[in-house]
A and B are shown apart, each in its own frame.
Chain A
Amino acid sequence: MHPAFSVLFLTTLIGAGQGLFLALFSVEAYAELGLVPAPGSDFFAIGSLLSLGLLGLGLFASFFHLGRPERAWRTATKWRTSWLSREVIVLPAFMGMVFLYGLAHWLQFNPPLGVLPGDNFVLLTVLLGILGTLLAFALFVSTAMIYAAVKFLQEWHSPLTVVNYTLLGAASGFTLATALAAWAETGLVPFLAGWAIILTLLGLVGRVTSLIRNARIQPKSTLQTAIGIKHPAIQQKSQGFMGGSFNTREFFHHRSPAFLRAVKWLFLISAFAIPTALLALAMVMTVDPTNVLIAAFVIQYLGLLAERWFFFAQANHPQNLYYQSVS
């Protein structure tokens, strides 16, 4: 497939935004249980704002993918059958929840909404956080299912797609949260960096598994089934036109296999190896690790952009069987 930059930015930016929110709420939940020191409410408010910024940028990028962005509202109508429609509904809902969560923290408006047995209060921010977490996961699933649900793209048509979108988004979000925690001097760096490393390594396992799976894929369709002629030697002599067409642009990356291999190694190093090393370094650093952690996030984000590029480029659409030879 042709990797469109609008979609690369959309999926990586909102992934990081969702991951950041999950990291914020993890901190809040752990702090409620007294497992980590509670940071000030500014930490949550700024974090939510950052998450909202990433989500908004992603949403903005997505409009460049549409031919008719002015009609985008119509996309919310077919949620019964279309994962794309579901994503379009869940994304604003999640953004709204992040906004409310950040607002409640910023205003320090946190009334207990009820009492659970054992004298535990149900706090407003916790309730918003739980709802936000559910929406964050719903968004990961709907975004990934847009790709995983297309059975013709065998490289995508796998539960691994959903797993990887979730893990990679969460990993980059936790890395960003670690940088934020270091900058805000909350003492949460070891906690968040630890989770960021775990998520990054899990993401590596998931991604490598899908690389192995994809390397072994047997294409379901062949030139024989495409034109329905049973003969081992069939060649296309003409695709029916000399110039380009939508079908020759949208479904192929127009790069060499060597370039693809280079991007694969690039993302394996920059999305996984370097960030893990930098996060581990930050955990043991005695001086302020903020800059190291910001570098870790930027490198990981660029790596994930490369990962997404590769994700698209590697997918081979059966329609390409019909467009192999110009004249």
Chain B
Amino acid sequence: MLSIKNLTVNVNDKQILKGINLEIKPGEIHAIMGPNGSGKSTLSHVLSGKGGYTVTGGSVTYQGKDLLEMAPEIRAREGVFLAFQYPVEIPGVSNIYLLKAALNSIRKHHGQSEVDAMDFLTLVKEKVRLLEMDEKFLYRAVNEGFSGGEKKRNEILQMAILEPRLCIMDETDSGLDIDALKIVSEGVNSLRSPERSFVMVTHYQRLLDYIKPDFVHVLAHGQIVKSGGAELALELEDKGYSWLEEAAA
């Protein structure tokens, strides 16, 4: 599904990612943990094509294609979805309009016709129920005036409707209260399938209690300094990152 080889990335001439290697197979769930400023969001952004980052070396292959060559919207249409750590407010554009525009772009990309209006509404309402959201959110401007937790839930709503292949979730759990975390996690779990992979950036074990990862990686100073199974997260909860950072330094 995704193969990252020796990826190095600069921001304003400063090296942030210093040789990332990561292999993700269909159906796998990878958790990425690590201290603040270690480069987790940078990696998520580079994968989804955000500007302002210079790839200085390495490669990223997604479903056999060079991901870095693709425009951001092409990546999205090909099935890469980023649930943002800080979702952006878009005044004047309603949630439902954006969802429809997005879904139709994907369908067009795959040579399909526009979604039928009734089918679309049925689909959207089903997912709204899955995430226990109020239907009113559909008609509000994207993220405008949403609380922190509502924004995160809205990201997962979009994900559930667009059905991506590769779901990158950047700290989706931060800002969610205990009930919301449970609902969102159930939503994510319902999306699990042998063809779909997840990359979950998180600081907390509590998310991983709900969504059990196949692999846990620790990103520190722009490098993956340790990888392991789900039990690594528990060890980190216990010991923090310093022992790994020292080992890497």
A complexed with B: no
Interface of B toward A, CB cutoff 8 Å = none
Interface of A toward B, CB cutoff 8 Å = none
